[in-house]
Amino acid sequence: MMSTMWNSLSTLPSQSPSLEQVVFIFRPFAQPLEGKVAELERFAWLDLVGKVQEMFPNVKTVTVGIGYYVVDNEDFVPYLAALRRAPGLQQLEGKGTVSLQMIPWETYGLVRPLPKY
């Protein structure tokens, strides 16, 4: 999936003055919660941010969004904490280079059977 993302980004003009922000939305899939948190901590965030800055010199902010499911009362705090523990990410957030966002999703995107009454 990452190669598809990089291929798509490479089609954009690198010197576009209107491209000031890039937003990525991720959803950790490992189970249980500890696996999801570990997945976020292990991801090469600094490589991602560095490559985006290299590709698009006018980008001021790289937003990392993490999707969580509000229908299940999923707690997003562990995800945010994991991102801030990832090497260097919290420092970039402090400089304003990176913005961390939690993205509430209503559904899984799958058709769920209706409850029986």
Q: Is residue 112 a part of any domain in this protein?
A: no
Predicted local confidence at residue 60, as pLDDT: 93
Contact in structure between 66 and 28 (CB atoms under 8 Å): yes
pLDDT at 114: 43
Q: Which two tokens stand for residue 95?
A: 């400089």
- Let me know if residue 39 belongs to a domain: yes
For 30-83, write each residue's pLDDT tens digit. 788 899 999 999 999 999 999 999 999 999 999 999 988 887 788 899 999 999
Please report whether residue 1 resides in a domain.
no
Is 111 a member of any domain?
no
Residue 81 lies in a domain: yes
pTM of the model: 0.80
Which pLDDT belongs to residue 67? Answer: 87
Q: Tell me which of 2-11, 36-45, 51-60, 103-112 is least confident.
A: 103-112
Q: How many domains does the chain have?
A: 1
Q: Residue 82: what are its φ and ψ, rounded to 5°?
A: -65, -40
pLDDT at 70: 81
In a domain, 114, yes or no: no
Range of the structural domain that residue 89 is part of: 19-105
pLDDT surpassing 90 at residue 95: yes
Question: Would 42 be classed as within a structural domain?
Answer: yes
Query: What is the spatial distance between Cα 87 and Cα 43, in angstroms, rounded to a whole number?
Result: 10
d(CA 26, CA 40): 9
Structural domain contains residue 99: yes
On the question of pLDDT at 113 being above 60, the answer is no
